[in-house]
Amino acid sequence: MTKETVVSVKKLKTKYRVETTENKYSFTEDTIIKYSIFMGRVFEENELDAILAEEEFNVLTNRAINYLSYQPRSENEVRKYLLEKDTPEELADKIIKRIKNLGYLDDEMLANSMLDYVIRNLKGPNVLRQKLTQKKLDEDLINKTIYKYTELQEEEVIDDLLRKIVERYKKNPKNKQKVLIYQKLIRDGFSSELVNYKLNKLEFVDESDERLIKDLKKLIRRVDEFNYEARSKIISKLMARGYEYNKILNALNNLEE
């Protein structure tokens, strides 16, 4: 059986270059110390190759753990990260198994934490599905997590959100408020059926009279001659902004007096 003897150990910037009678290697300082790789040390055939493979495994494992330290990741995200670093697929699987055993990687725990995050931030189930999908989680796990977001919870969350945002839109006419709030709730991941149900029950506070006068005066200033045709166009534009026809007429009549 061929043996190899260490003939040179030279410190480089981040590693040590080791030359033997048979080959050249590059090791970290931790490996040099752990395996007592020094001048004159004799190793069995392929022993240093095995040490090098172990070191690569440890280095890549630590790199994956560091990748996880920035934010929670899914198993698929970590696998993609390792493969993009030219890690052989078999080694990537071995590393993932290792960090799962260490407790650093748990897709179900990740999914549950995202469920808690979405509810705390007053978002609906559709946003949760989007975030879980972005994490490349298994479809069964996604469905299982979505199922945990109950209809009762969705109602409670949307009620909390409505209490928080309704004040924001009260300077708009009622119809405009309804459109803006609907769009906001859909963007935030709630189902259209529940949104419509809640908006139909919502008591809107319409404080748009002052804004109506401002918009009306602005539109009047833009026309050369305030005749019947211009008046009709202004009414149409204001109705398109959600103002009620009767309120527009009253505002016009007050300005014309």
Q: What is the pLDDT of residues 68-83, one digit of tens each?
A: 999 999 999 999 999 9
> What pLDDT is recorded for position 184?
96
Query: pLDDT tens digit string along 223-235?
Result: 777 787 777 788 8
Question: What percent of the chain is modeled with pLDDT above 70?
Answer: 97
**pLDDT for the residue numbered 94:** 94
pLDDT at residue 244 greater than cutoff 80: no
Task: Extract the tokens encoding 186.
Answer: 């859909």
At residue 247, does pLDDT exceed 80?
A: no
Q: Give 112: exposed, middle or buried? Use CB within 10 Å, 0-12, 13-18, 19+.
A: middle
Residue 137 backbone zone (phi > 0: left; psi -120 to 50: alpha; other: beta): beta
| pTM, two decimal places | 0.74
| pLDDT exceeds 70 at position 256 | no
Of residues 159 and 234, more confidence is placed in 159
Domain parsing of the chain, residue ranges: 3-101, 107-149, 152-201, 209-256
How large is the average pLDDT for residues 171-175?
A: 85
Which residues neighbour 251 within 8 Å (Cβ) at sequence distance 6 or greater? Answer: 209, 212, 213, 216
**CB–CB of 74/135 below 8 Å?**
yes
Residue 208: pLDDT band by 50, 70, 90 thresholds? Answer: low
Q: Mind listing the pLDDT tens digit for each residue in 10-42? A: 999 888 999 999 888 888 888 888 889 899 998
pLDDT of residue 242: 76
Question: Residue 201: pLDDT above 60?
Answer: yes
| Contact in structure between 198 and 162 (CB atoms under 8 Å) | yes
Domain spanning 107-149: CATH 1.10.10? yes
Provide CB contacts within 8 A for 220, sequence distance 6+. Answer: 226, 234, 255
Strands (E), the chain: 3-11, 16-20, 24-27, 42-44
Work out the pLDDT band at 176, boundaries 50, 70, 90.
confident
- Residue 104 vs residue 208, higher pLDDT: 104
- Confidence at residue 1, expressed as pLDDT on a 0 to 100 scale: 60
Band of pLDDT at residue 111, cut at 50, 70 and 90 = very high
Q: What is the CATH number of domain 3-101?
A: 1.10.10.10
Mean pLDDT for the stretch of residues 134-159: 96
